[in-house]
Structure 1
Amino acid sequence: MDQSLEDMKFIGFFGIFKQSFTTIFSWKKIFAQITLTLILPLTIIFLAHIEISRYLFWKLERNSLLLDTDSYYRLHVSAIEWLYYVLFKIAYFIFLTVFSLLSTAAVVFTVASIYTDREIVFQNVMKIIPKVWKRLLVTFVFIYLVFFIYDIIGEVALAITRSIFNYSTLSLLLTLIIRILYVIGFLYIVFVCELGSVVTVLESSHGYRALRKGKDLANGKKKVGMGIAFVLYGFLEGLLVVYQWFVEYGGVNFNLAMVWRAMIGILCGFLLLMFLLLIVVIQTVLYLVCKSHHGEAIDKLSLSTFLGAYMGETVVYPTAGEEVQLGRPPHQQV
């Protein structure tokens, strides 16, 4: 890192992006190894899910239109295809979660090692994954629950609005307000959950405690964190729209030849690959910025010792409450 921790609290919106890109390009080899090993499969899974889901859903829609002829047979076929569709979604969700937590653990550990000036070897990065994946999985489960509950609240609010005001002008206005508030809340939750994921790897907290710590760290940097989340997920949404328009339906919408659709698909895949790497690097840099903003000293030796524990190095663990939380103000450091 080209910034001292004390200076990091002054890094703003653009500075975080600059710091993240600088970190990646300064350590191209290790990040390229992580990308090809863990993030490339994640990208392939993500894009394959789009294509396979579209094919399976098309078959389901076609069978639903043909139920009038030989309805018993069609109903039987439709039930089997719905089963395949559900099983596919479950398998996709499992693989997506596995590679997401593996890539998160690897990238966060690498960025933290860069900060502490530790020697970074790809084999060592891979060694920490078996030691942290269970903790990250617990945190991911809590993240999924948070978004699930938040989505239910949003849908209920929309349903109540429509049931009371039908589709009047007032209903449309309230729906717009609810959606705007939903997006704002979504960006804040994304920011907190990103910090919680980093906390899980670099501190002793996981699950609910990690998310609560992420919420505490987010205070004072909400605008910056939510702004970054807006840019990142806006880019992702735009990328998916381009993929859908020009790759999935490029032949129908724009009469594109298969070669052009394939080239655009490869470009979208490459940008998605870079996006998935960048987002984890950014959330780690955000963590360091938020820690510095709160005056929570991150001692390089303490962090290096904590990271060394993943490597099986001999360390003296602190007592309960004195873990390497990296969260005590400087005057309380022992």
Structure 2
Amino acid sequence: MEWDWDPQEEDLRSVGVLGVYRHCFLVVRARRRIVARVALCHGLPLSVLFLANVAVAHAIFSRYVPDDDAFEAAAPAGTALAALLFLLRGSADWVAYLLFKAAYLSALLALSLASTAAVVSCVASLYSAAKYDDLYLRRGIRAFPLAWIRRLVDTFLAAFVLLLLYNGVSIAVLVLTVLLLYSHHGTLLASLLLLGGAVYLAGLVYIGVVWHLASVVSVLEDARGAAAMRKSRALLAGKLWTVAAIFAKLSGLSFAVEMAFRVVVVEDKMRLGLGDRALLGMAMAATLCAVIMVALVAQAVVYFVCKSYHREVVDKAHLSDHLGVYLGEYEPLDSSNGGGRGVQMEQLP
């Protein structure tokens, strides 16, 4: 049966957390074949990558724990040899971990950018004037426009630089606070550290939310890098708490799955058999894949919610042209062919 859902921007203006989840469900249902393909090609590898990071980190830093007694016997504590062996052992672990982390982050970045481009174009096709069929979208998924990837990389680098500056300032404030208050104001220091930790986490969530929305802006509009980040901040005005709640919940669910994987599968706290652990591991990978796909769809839906909230008209004909030019299949719509343009996406300074 043909799906006849037609999302209207007017319906999105007052959408809250539950409304965004509802629209995510409608999008997935409307594009279930494409979403399933993206999940298989990108979402599942991402989930396996996240879980592999948990397993490898645990393997590297826990493999010497059972040998502590033998290590102590070979080089008694307090000796120079013990200190040297400890440093060498730690250095080897850190080198192995850093090499793995470099490969992990490279693969994570590539898969994240590809999945973002695929899902955003899939969701945006529902809001455009052109009727993109499944075959057309599948072709787009197999061959992403390099322009999209370059734009997403620019936006990622802008967010990365912002994150470095944020962490640098946070560390400087932390060190200065400890130096000033450690000796005579222990209680005040503890209170300030708790408050500062909460503020720091809130800042991380804010940067993450801005970056996620900026990624969508980079695909659907002409802004990229710092300009996309500024556009994202402007769009989030008035909807920040709603969007933050959505991504905080999804991030919390993802973290819970990863911790459950570590406790049950990697550390085997429940003393399960190898077969049971393998089945649970696959189930957790599938669950994490579902969370990732919901998050990817949600960030695209949030973009249209924010545009509607600010009464910025997303001209469907212009959006169709934008998608068609990049994907290279459809001819740009022209007003003479019945695709008359209204107001194009406004670019905020």
Q: TM-score range by the shorter chain?
A: 0.7 to 0.9
- Specify the alignment match of 2:189 in structure 1: 171
**TM-superposed deviation, 1:103:** 0.5
Alpha-carbon contact 1:102-1:129 (below 8 Å) kept? no
1:6 aligned residue (4, 7, 10): 10
**TM-superposed deviation, 1:76:** 5.9
1:272 aligned residue (288, 300, 303): 288
2:29 aligned residue (17, 25, 45): 25
State the distance in 1 between where 2:16 and 2:87 align.
57
Alpha-carbon contact 1:291-1:327 (below 8 Å) kept? no
Query: After the TM superposition, which of the residue ranges 132-141 and 81-90 deviates more from structure 2?
Result: 81-90
Query: After the TM superposition, which of the residue ranges 129-138 and 268-277 deviates more from structure 2?
Result: 129-138
- Specify the alignment match of 1:332 in structure 2: none
Alpha-carbon contact 1:297-1:328 (below 8 Å) kept? no
- Specify the alignment match of 2:47 in structure 1: 43
Which ranges in structure 1 are unaligned for 5 or more consecutive residues? 318-323, 330-334
* 2:290 partner letter: M
Matched residue SS, 1:250: coil
Asked whether 1:326 is paired with 2:345, we answer yes
Cα gap change, 1:186/1:74 in structure 2, threshold over 3 Å: closer, same or farther? Answer: closer
Structure number with greater Rg is 2
**TM-superposed deviation, 1:3:** 2.8
State the distance in 1 between where 2:235 and 2:285 align.
33
Indicate the percent of aligned positions where both proteins have the same amino acid: 30
**TM-superposed deviation, 1:293:** 0.8
- Specify the alignment match of 1:233 in structure 2: 251
State the distance in 2 between where 1:72 and 1:230 align.
43
**TM-superposed deviation, 1:40:** 1.5
**TM-superposed deviation, 1:9:** 1.0
Cα gap change, 1:74/1:165 in structure 2, threshold over 3 Å: closer, same or farther? Answer: closer
**What CA deviation, in whole Å up to 9, does each residue of 1:45-80 have, x standing for no partner?**
221121112212234778996694698788667645
- Specify the alignment match of 1:107 in structure 2: 119
State the distance in 1 between where 2:16 and 2:10 align.
14
- Specify the alignment match of 2:200 in structure 1: 182
State the distance in 1 between where 2:88 and 2:201 align.
40
Equivalences for residues 1-334 of structure 1 within 5 A: 2-59=6-63, 68=75, 79-116=91-128, 117-121=131-135, 122-166=138-182, 168-251=186-269, 254-312=270-328, 313-315=330-332, 326-327=345-346
Alpha-carbon contact 1:204-1:325 (below 8 Å) kept? no
State the distance in 1 between where 2:297 and 2:273 align.
37
State the distance in 2 between where 1:71 and 1:226 align.
46
**What CA deviation, in whole Å up to 9, does each residue of 1:13-64 have, x standing for no partner?**
1100110112112321111111111222222222112111221223477899
Alpha-carbon contact 2:113-2:152 (below 8 Å) kept? yes
Higher relative contact order (CA 8 A, sep 6+): 2
**What CA deviation, in whole Å up to 9, does each residue of 1:94-114 have, x standing for no partner?**
111000100001000110012
**TM-superposed deviation, 1:241:** 2.1
Aligned length: 321
Cα gap change, 1:52/1:137 in structure 2, threshold over 3 Å: closer, same or farther? Answer: same
Alpha-carbon contact 2:314-2:345 (below 8 Å) kept? yes
Query: After the TM superposition, which of the residue ranges 170-179 and 194-203 deviates more from structure 2?
Result: 170-179
